[in-house]
Structure 1
Amino acid sequence: MEIEKPPVDRERVIPSGERRGLVIVHTGDGKGKSTAAFGLALRAHGRGKAVRIYQFMKVPSARFGEHRVFEQLGVPIEGLGDGFSWKSKDLEHSAELAREGWGRAESVIRAGDHFLVVLDEIMYPLRYGWLALDAVLACLRERPPHVHVVLTGRGAPAELIELADTVTEMAMIKHHYKAGVPAQRGIED
């Protein structure tokens, strides 16, 4: 590692735009997409803002670590699916659940009562064709101007990346699973 000097003379750019709701996308093959979205949810909740989280691939009865803590904090988090597609026994049912869940999420976004809405793992139902990309894009464009929306998942469509205000791609450099270390509670859930 090369040691560097901390920056002391940096030109400060002062934004001239108006504060508004943002569309934020966390995508890529690396870990941390959902975790980053949950961090934003905690930050917003800590500021007294209304937050709602939808998880498109988790079952409604899921009790992962994030469900437990958000429940304790009073932040609504809702599983909309029946598990990841490779575990599903009925893909048409999975698609139906995604469409029903999107209907609920879209209503909440359009209502404008929440500062932040997280659409966790929405890229899977978009990529599988279970949700119409045009409908999601329309909702994001037409949402009330103060509503922030975070969308997570691998393989974000180019149209969504184009629409978004902020896009972060998580790159996998190394993953413990590939070395044979199994998923661990408190890290993966």
Structure 2
Amino acid sequence: MKKGYIHVYTGNGKGKTTAALGLSVRAVCAGKKVYFAQFVKGMKYSEIEAMNYLPSFEIHQFGRNCFIYNDPTQEDIDAAQNGLKTCQKILKEGQYDIVVLDEINIAMYYNLFEIEEVLDMIRNRAEHVEVIITGRYAPDEIIEEADLVTEMKEIKHYYQHGVLAREGIEK
């Protein structure tokens, strides 16, 4: 890949992180290196184990607990800022073919950092790096910058019938 593109997976439907993980598996199976950064998330999701099974796949969480029902704490802001700094370095160095910025849209929505910081980060990346941005509420500026935008639309979900997140499916 000589030029890396920017993908955005957004919307209120299920499947944004799942799509990014699927693309990551495909890339690793094609011999590519993937860095998967999870913003806001700090809980144990099954995909954290992927590093044990997939060569050339690295995943790190830059969140604590899920604060989306409360206001973010200073610790939440610090974790997101740390993630942003880490990803700026990784994107600029270009050692990975694909960098996933999982839930970074939510981090921007909650003002954990500014949209312009994210735009600067992806604009100043190594040219070959493909960037995957996920999360609800993708800002218009991110959508404008992207080369591919997919909106996940919830039509029906078993959560509405009281089914909780299941390990290996939603978590």
Aligned partner of residue 85 in structure 1, secondary structure: coil
Identical aligned residues as a percent: 39
CA displacement at 1:186 relative to structure 2:
1.4
Inter-CA distance 90–135: structure 2 relative to 1 (3 Å threshold):
closer
How many residues get paired? 170
Q: Which runs of structure 2 are paired with 1:28-177 in the superposition (5 Å)?
A: 28-59=11-42, 62-74=43-55, 75-86=57-68, 91-177=73-159
Q: 2:93 corresponds to which letter in structure 1? A: A
Name the aligned partner's letter for residue 135 of structure 2.
G
Which of residues 159, 163, 166 is equivalent to 1:181? 163
- Following TM superposition, the consecutive aligned residue runs of length 4 or more in structure 1 with deviations greater than 4 angstroms are 87-90
Amino acid at match of 2:48: H
- TM-score, scaled to structure 1: 0.84
TM-score w.r.t. the length of structure 2 is: 0.93
Could you say if the C-alpha distance between residues 93 and 22 of structure 1 is closer, same or farther in structure 2, counting changes exceeding 3 Å? Answer: same
Work out the CA distance in 2 between the residues paired with 1:54 and 1:106.
Answer: 11
Question: Over aligned residues, Cα RMSD in angstroms?
Answer: 1.7
Deviates more, 1:88-97 or 1:154-163: 88-97
- Cα distance, 1:70 vs. partner? 3.2
Partner of 1:24: 7
